[in-house]
Every structure is written in structure tokens, then in C-alpha cells.
Homo-oligomer: A and B are copies of this chain.
Amino acid sequence: MKKIVIIGGMAAGCKTAARLKRLKPDYDITIIEKQDFISYGTCGMPFYASGDIDDFLDLAKTPWGMIRDDNYFIKSKKINIKLSCEAIEIDKDNQKVICLDLKTNQQFTLDYDYLVLATGSTPVKPNFPTPESDNISDFHDPLNAKKFKLKAQSGQIGSVAIIGGGFIGVELAEATTSLWGIETHLIELTNRLMPQALDKELSTLLENHLTKNDIKIYLNTSVSKIEKNQDDSLKISLNDNSQINADYVFLCLGIKPNTKLSQQIGIKHSKICGIKTNKQLQTNIKNIYAAGDCIAVKDLITNQDALYPFGSLANRQGRVIADVLAGKKSTFKGAIGTSSVKVFDLIIASAGLNEYQANTLNLNYNCVWGTFYDRPDYMPESQTLVAKLIYEKQTLRLLGLQLIGKGEITRYIDTFSILASNKKTAYDLLDYEHAYTPPHSGPLNPLNHLGAMAINQEIDQINSLHPLSFQQFKGYIIDVREQSEINEIPLDNANLKLSILDYHDKINDIPKDEQILVICQKGPRSYEVARTLINKGFKNVKYLGGGIQLLKSIF
């Protein structure tokens, strides 16, 4: 019989406990949790806040409607639960955890054979002054979601400012506008929304979508202070000296791993990404393991430490620790940060590095862009999907993918995730076998095309122009769309219009000594014409990545 103490009762902690108890029923397992609930589905909070999910407890229920409370874990799973208790010190030499019961203020001590740190994360604090107010909160603590919803339901909130345009900020912006009709201001420090996932040319599609849904977006904007108005509403001062008034402010400035305890006892840490572990999720201190938001995950693309605070990874890590402690072979290899988010009816998905990150890391990368139908164009339900692929130049190794659209998206980010995690290349992206039927995809899918484009670019030098470079392009522009398409999305500065049907006859009209850019609606025709021109001896020919459909979203 071993004694296991787990600090933290959310995804990683509860998964470790439940799996380990199944494998080793005679182990004595105790979870210590600061809050007075455990196993809460925090990823569902935006949908609770928005009203899509009615009951606060729905996020703590089993599929058969039983509440996953301490009683459930104790009775059904035979796991000891200490709610409202905080681990305040670890005595690593004597293998003890000193705990404080937050309700009685009494201290007590738990012995352990193995200790699991699943201490989670806390919101990053603002670097600007904020007043004491019940109307400012993060969106990390479930009780804040509950508080906000009560206020919204009772009509107390006419306007909201969300500071931070990452995943949570964006999900929250939908939540506040869609059901409650609250005037929503979304403030982001960088030049784009979801900067960890998206590069600017793709984030414009998200920004346009949010703007269309009445969300006010402030990019390149920092907050200098928040003050309380006399009516208890809040005044947010921005770096351009303008001000926004809002009834409620959400601080969505990111999160940081909770490492106070682990730092005290000499556990090794990554500088910003949390506790360092090996593949068995062991720390450098004997018999201490760690999982969940508090650990640094090995990024399988960069081989560097990363902060990937995802419930999906926390679950996997919990399983690994349970298996290891039960004497089974199991490893957590790492991750590449695969994620998706739905905002109104738009899906944004990404995996691996974006170009900004690849650039920062000084990688020798290149990109291709594509605008696609997610299904054959003849299917009435076809939806447009915009994609950007980042790959390593020499090896064609997959580095990152960004996808935005309304249709079939998740399958492509998942397949990319597997391929990129396994260090596969653009050839594998081109080649992999997907389920083809017209209601769900074309015979070649967007990833197959992106793989082909990358190969064509690196091997045959059929190069795409970065959409963000379009306005700086000085050269000869050839529009190879049909007149009906040009009428729909005009392009004023084209030097030549050609139909794909008879462009061969007019190639002599094209100046041989200029830089040439070929443009079409989505990409394939301009690629084909660019290749023909290169075959004919033209130098300096590019086609516009993503076609004019992506371009019009940017400029």
C-alpha cells in the first residue's frame, strides 16, 4: 500500500487519481484542493457565461447527470478529497505535505510515498493600476464566470471591456455579445487577435468577423489604468489617451504556472513555462511528479519548453503519471500546441508555430497560403476555408498550420497535428489518405493542396507572394480571373487581364524583364499561369498566396 498525495483537483489531478485507483485499488490516494469544488470543466466556462449552458453545476456533472463532487470521488472512486485545503509546504526529505484547512484555519500533515503536483495556473496580473471593484475580474476562476452571469442576467451589465485578445478573450467576446447583447470592447496589445495562434493576415479574417458581430476591437493598444466612475462603472484609459467606459472589465492577460510550492523545494523550472519533468513526468526531486498547467511541455517542433495549458494534455499527463506509479511503461512525449476555437460560426484552428514565432526562432522557413472550398465547389453547403502552412525550407518539414473558416476544419488541424508531431514533411501532407465524399471534402483536400504548393515552391521555385507584401509589390500584375469575378472583387492596379482559357495566346504581351505577380480568386489559376511563365523563361514570377479572396480581407 502506497500513499499518494495529489495537490490540485482539476483535470490533471483527478485523472491521475481516478486512473491510479483503478490500477492500484489498495493505494491510499488523497487530493488536496484549495477551492471547495473539484473536477470542474473550466473549458466550458465561456459557454456557461454566454448562456448556452444553463446551470453552473452542468460543468461538474458526469454524462449521466451525477455531480462529480467530493462525495462522488470518495464513495464511487474511494479517493480521499480535502476541499478548501491548501498545501502550504512540502517537506521533501520526510515526504510530507503541510496543509492548511482554509475553513478551520487548522494545519495538518499528509505523508506521501509519491507526490503529484497538479497545482495549475493563475492569471497574469495587470501591469497597470486597477481599483478595488466587484466589476473587474479574470475569467480563470469559475466563480467569476458565475458572478458575471448573475450580473448579466439581472441586466446590470450594458457594456464590457475585455483586456487581452487571446483565446479566452475572443471566446468571451462572443459570450458577452451573442446572448446578452452587451456592448463589447476587446483590447489587444499586439497587432492581431489570438497572436499565439495566428499571423496578421489570418487574424484579419477573425477581426472582420468580430467587427461584423458588433464587437469593438482595439489592436496595438495597451491599457494605462482603470479607474472607478462614480456610478461604479469603470473607466479604462488607453495608451492613445482615449478612454472606454464599461460596466464590467475582464482581465484576460494570459496565465502563468503555479510554482510557488515547487520553487520552495528546489524543483527545476523552465523560466516561464513551469515545472520541468522527464517523459515519465517526474521532477528532479525524488518521488515528486507533476502534470497539468503547472508543467513545461516539450514542444515537439522546437524541442524547447512550452506553456500548453490545455485540458486535453492535462488528461493525458494524468494518465501517464497513474501508469508510471502503477509500474506500467508510459510516457508523455510532448505536444505542438494544437488548438481550435469557435467564435460565432467561425472556426479558428492552429498547430505548431506561426510565422511570427518561426521568425523569432530564426528558423529557415517558408510559407504557402490557400483559399479553398472545404467540399467540392458544386456542393451547395461548401464553405470557404483560408489556410497558411509554415514549413522548413530545406527539409520541407511541417512547422505550423493556421486555418479559418466555417466548415470542415477540425479534421485538418488534427491530421496536421499527427503529421507535424511525427516530424513529417509536406510530402506526407500531400499524400495522406482522407475520407473522401462530396458532403465532407473534395478528392484532394486543403492539406493535400498546401503540401503540393510547398513542394512546388521549394523544388520547382513556383513561389507565392506573402499577402501582406502585396501593397509593397512594385511590378507587373496579371489578373487571371474571369470578368464576372473581377466585377465581384475588383482589382484596380492590374496591368493585364487574362482568361485562363486563352492566356497562352497573350504571353508575348507580358514584359520579360519585370517582376511579375499573377493573381486569381483563390490561387490555383495564378499558380498554373505562374508556372507556365516560368517554363517560358520568365524570371521573378510569383503568384499571390491565398488569392484575392484572402487579400480583400486584409486591405
Contacts and interface: CB of A to CB of B under 8 A. Distances in A.
Interface of A: 11, 22-23, 25, 41, 43-44, 47, 52-53, 58-59, 61-66, 72, 75-76, 78, 310-316, 319, 328, 333, 335-336, 338-342, 347, 349, 351, 373, 376-380, 408, 410-411, 413-415, 417-419, 421-422, 430-441, 443-444, 448, 452, 459-460, 481-482, 484-485, 500-504, 521-522, 524-525, 528, 531-532, 535-536
Contact of A44 (B76, B413, B431, B438): B438
Nearest to A78: B504
Given A411-B411, A437-B43, A438-B47, A316 B431 contact: yes
A216 B238 CA distance: 67
15 contacts: A22-B532, A53-B379, A76-B500, A76-B502, A76-B503, A310-B436, A310-B443, A311-B436, A338-B433, A339-B436, A339-B437, A340-B436, A340-B440, A349-B435, A414-B434
A501 B66 contact: yes
Contact of A342 (B376, B437, B448): B437
Contacts of A43: 376, 436-438, 443
| 5 nearest A-B pairs in the assembled complex, by CB-CB distance | A340-B435, A312-B436, A411-B411, A342-B439, A63-B377
Binding site of A, secondary structure by majority: helix, strand, loop or mixed?
Answer: mixed
Given A44-B378, A435-B351, A414 B411 contact: yes
B438 A417 contact: no
Given A415-B414, A433-B338, A435-B351, A443 B312 contact: yes
Contacts of A340: 435-437, 440
Given A313-B433, A501-B72, A61 B411 contact: no
Contacts of A484: 65
Nearest to A440: B410
Question: Residue among A41, A65, A481, A522 with the most chain B CB within 10 A?
Answer: A41
Nearest to A332: B431
A61 B310 CA distance: 43
A4 to B, nearest CB: 17
